[in-house]
Chain A
Amino acid sequence: MLASILASGLAVGAVYALIGITYNTMYLTSRVMSFTAGQLGMLGGVFGSLFVLRLGLPVLPGLLATLLACALVGVVTEVVAVRPVLKSLDQHLYVLSTLAVALLIQHATALEWSTEPQPFPRLLGLGAGIWDEKYWLPVAACIATIIGLEYLYRRTLVGRAFVAIAEDNFAARALGLPERNLRIASYALAGAVGALAGFAGGQLLLAFFANGPLLNFYGFIPVALGGLGNNRGAVIGGFLLGLFQQAANFMVGGIFSSVAVFTLFIIVLLIRPQGMFGAPAARRV
């Protein structure tokens, strides 16, 4: 039992961590927490099933098409729901505008795709039991994403520009960084990361329109606990959450595991609203 708790816990934990990174990627360049993060994960599964199973593309082109489609959704989110409300960030209109876009995505999927969970294809056909690919693929995708992002942020000019904007938006613009284009790029990147989460976790979560809100919530928990914009916190938090949730699942049953997760989440946040690794809020007066 321990082995299956570990395997499924790490697998869903990796998906949550990736959704957390999706939140963070959008947050860093825009200071916006977007409700679309979970929907991108959902779309990763739906597009994957659509391209590979229904349209019969091979796995790699299917993955690529999925990433591109979700990157496009990310860009559309930026244009429609984020850019118009950035001017008045303190009014928190983005909560409503991104919620609206997330719901549009979810219901368009329900109407055009299916309201029932649809099968997701086996990708590589490797492994069995607890070493089945559906358990280790999300973990592998998560590790690959972390390495890729670290490389991007540390070694490339574009990545350093992202970091500069995240650090100090005004100073970065004063230096002549193309803030708007970088923001669009980060939303595309977030779209791709979310898509990867859904694609890699597709065999666990299936291609189901209602995955969006769940991923939204369980992906947000590691971000909230790890501190906004902190990818390391999101990854650690994501894996811990996955393990905790699956352990509770096996021991006390599905419903009470979500009650347990929710309660724990609220308690931790009430004690440390800025998250375990976050900095306290700035001055107000």
Chain B
Amino acid sequence: MARLWPYLAILALALLLPLTGNEYWALIATRMAIYWVLISGLNLVVGFAGQLAIGYVALLAIGAYTASVLTAGTVMEPLPAFVALGLAALAGAAAGVVVGLPALRLRTFYFAMTTLGFATIVTQITLAWQDVTGGGIGIPGPSMPAPMDTAWGFYYLCLGLGAVCTWATANIGASRFGRALVAIRDSEVAAEASGIAKPRLLVMVFILAGALAAFAGGLFATLQTYITPDAFTFDLSLLFFIAILIGGRGSILGPLLGTILLTLLPEVAAPLAAWSTFLYAALLLVIVLAIPGGIAALLDRNSRKPLPEDRAIQPRPEALAPLLGERAERKLLSLRGIVLAFGGVRAIDGLDLDLRQGEVHGLIGPNGSGKTTTLNVISGYYRPQAGSMTLGDAPLPPGHPVGRAARGIARTFQTPRLIGEATVLENVMIGATIEGRAGFLEALLSLPRQRAEERAMAAQARLALEAVGLAGLAGVRADRLQHSELRFMEIARALVLRPEFLMLDEPAAGLSAEEIRRLGALIRAVSRQGVGVLLVEHHADLIFDICDQVTVLNLGKVLAAGMPAEIRTHKEVVSAYLGA
């Protein structure tokens, strides 16, 4: 309830607005609501997924022209206004995918540029395609049936739609889809390792954002009563984009306030109207340089509360049994003859390796001996030039990191890959993303199955946090944690996946002696639940304490393999790596 009151306050104010009886205010507020219908969808693209889609005015224009042309009766029999709006949304959904597709391959500046180019081209087409769009002369917008044909009637319609969009996009934001979008934005590699397929997810969001933008375009055409290409200037695109950045990334309330602010700005400062775009640009610069978190960061008082300083990580291995369950069969993950060369350097040179479920397998060796590279080959980030991998009875295809989570292979990273702006709990819940069965639409409407799944995922994540000893920090933003806590958080994220095999890349690096001891006990307990653990480490003591098997690499080849006791006394290992 506490989190709802700002929305309810805005809605109450909006509902009371007709009491002023001032139809000019109705116009402004209607425009605000229409902009918000577009921005709420764009917010998922820009604020959540972090894609710099600057040219969304193009989708507004597509929606406005589609709805207007379908109701004007110049090209075909006129359709009812709402049918036309629906078709406009469909056209927008298709266009949204077209604008968005480059984002699957291209990054940041490139993508920003292509959306800009798209916006330019749509304007040029509306000018040139005179038979349909009326060219520079324009066409009338759709007119609404009663009772939406008055200023206040239309206002209530747009307000209602705006409220629905707020609710629906907030549902997405709070669902596994919203978390996955933020994960793609902040740490694409971690998202991949958790089995989040970026293309599918982005396309769904582009469809939604495109449909909302085009629907808003139809409403916009009604509000304008008559549209020409001049109505869709780049300044409008800028307003949409900056409203989100002012609001803050990954927030719904922030961009809503940003929309209200930016729509009001030229009205309250009437003499500045000519300078409004200049002001938007200046605002953008100030926000980027001074408050990158936007309004949302200013409102978030929770994240400024100091954390207790004497906190310690207290793993509770008892929580592992309910989290991981029991594994009846013991599978084998084996590598045969793996070769991987970077240019002339053979990083891995004919490696054989067998990992068993229920065992801790240590992988040690000097720097550059191919330990992390091996891990990256197993988790699919590198594609070996030769050799084969099998998991149980099935071959493990090389490459394809996104598919590893579904095969029960989880991992952590040498430098923790965190989603800094999400809470610790949300970071861990990322690991459970692939367990979600409820679809995008169910999440959009927050249907019962979706809500049940969310509760189950949160419970799993809390259990994992308890197991690694971070239960007390569940609600804290992840970028406020200490390095050692991040390491344990990554393990929790991997455990939530209920993996068959868990690969840890130097988990003890940067930990205190006491923390290393607790880490060792935790890894041991994980393996006793039937999880196969591959441990890449430099701390020889930890390796020899907890490993069942140890493989020593040197220059990409196996130098020695066997029980810890054999390795510790192995002559070549001692001289090449351990030292006397």
Contact = CB atoms under 8 A, between A and B. Distances in A.
A111 B274 contact: yes
Interface string B283-323: 01100110010000000000000000000000000000000
B278 A111 contact: yes
B452 interface: no
Nearest to A80: B285
Given A213-B234, A258-B124, A99 B284 contact: yes
Nearest to A23: B109
A237 B361 CA distance: 53
Given A80-B285, A100-B284, A213-B116, A285 B278 contact: no
B111 to A, nearest CB: 9
Contact of B116 (A217, A224, A284, A285): A217
Given A96-B284, A217-B116, A285-B189, A258 B109 contact: no
B289 A285 contact: no
Interface residues of B, number: 43
A253 B109 CA distance: 29
Interface stretch (B69-77, B100-108, B214-222): B100-108
Given A80-B285, A99-B54, A100-B281, A266 B120 contact: no
Nearest to A261: B117
B238 interface: yes
Contacts of B410: none
Nearest to B283: A100
Interface string A242-262: 000000000001010011001
A217 B189 CA distance: 30
Interface in B253-294: 274-275, 277-278, 280-282, 284-285, 288-289, 292
Contacts of B527: none
Interface in B125-148: 125, 127-128
Contacts of A153: none
A277 interface: no
B120 A217 contact: yes
Taking chain B's interface residues, is the majority helix, strand, or loop, or is none over half, making it mixed? Answer: helix
Interface string A57-87: 0000000000000000000000011001100
B113 A220 contact: yes
Interface stretch (A5-13, A102-110, A177-185, A188-196): A102-110
B381 interface: yes
Contacts of B369: none
B250 to A, nearest CB: 14
Of B116, B245, B275, the most chain A CB neighbours within 10 A belong to B116
A95 interface: yes
Interface in B62-118: 101-102, 105-110, 112-114, 116-118
A21 interface: no
Given A99-B54, A111-B275, A262-B121, A104 B108 contact: no
Interface residues of A, number: 36
Interface in A88-121: 92-93, 95-97, 99-101, 103-104, 107-108, 111
Contacts of B114: 265-266, 269
A92 B106 CA distance: 13
B117 A265 contact: yes
Contact of A262 (B117, B127, B284): B117
B181 interface: no
Contacts of B101: 270
A220 to B, nearest CB: 5
A33 interface: yes
A96 B109 contact: no
A265 B120 CA distance: 14
A159 interface: no
Interface string A150-190: 00000000000000000000000000000000000000000
Interface in B399-419: 413
Contacts of A111: 274-275, 278
Contacts of B120: 213-214, 217, 258
Interface in A260-285: 262, 265-266, 269-270, 273, 284-285
Contacts of A84: 289
Interface in B147-171: none
Contact of B289 (A33, A97, A253): A97
A178 B288 CA distance: 27
A85 B184 CA distance: 21
Contact of B277 (A99, A107, A269): A107
Given A104-B282, A108-B278, A95 B105 contact: no
B189 to A, nearest CB: 6
A285 B189 CA distance: 7
Contacts of A253: 128
A33 to B, nearest CB: 4
A95 to B, nearest CB: 5
Contacts of B277: 103, 107
B489 interface: no
B40 interface: no
B376 interface: yes
A97 B112 CA distance: 13
B116 A100 contact: no
Given A99-B112, A99-B281, A259-B125, 14 more contacts: A85-B288, A92-B109, A99-B284, A100-B285, A104-B282, A104-B285, A111-B275, A213-B120, A213-B234, A224-B110, A262-B117, A262-B118, A269-B110, A269-B114
12 contacts: A93-B288, A95-B52, A96-B52, A97-B288, A97-B289, A100-B284, A111-B274, A258-B124, A259-B124, A265-B117, A270-B102, A270-B106
Interface of A: 33, 80-81, 84-85, 92-93, 95-97, 99-101, 103-104, 107-108, 111, 213-214, 216-217, 220, 224, 253, 255, 258-259, 262, 265-266, 269-270, 273, 284-285
Q: Which 9 A-B pairs have the closest CB atoms?
A: A103-B281, A100-B285, A255-B128, A100-B284, A107-B278, A33-B109, A92-B108, A285-B381, A96-B288
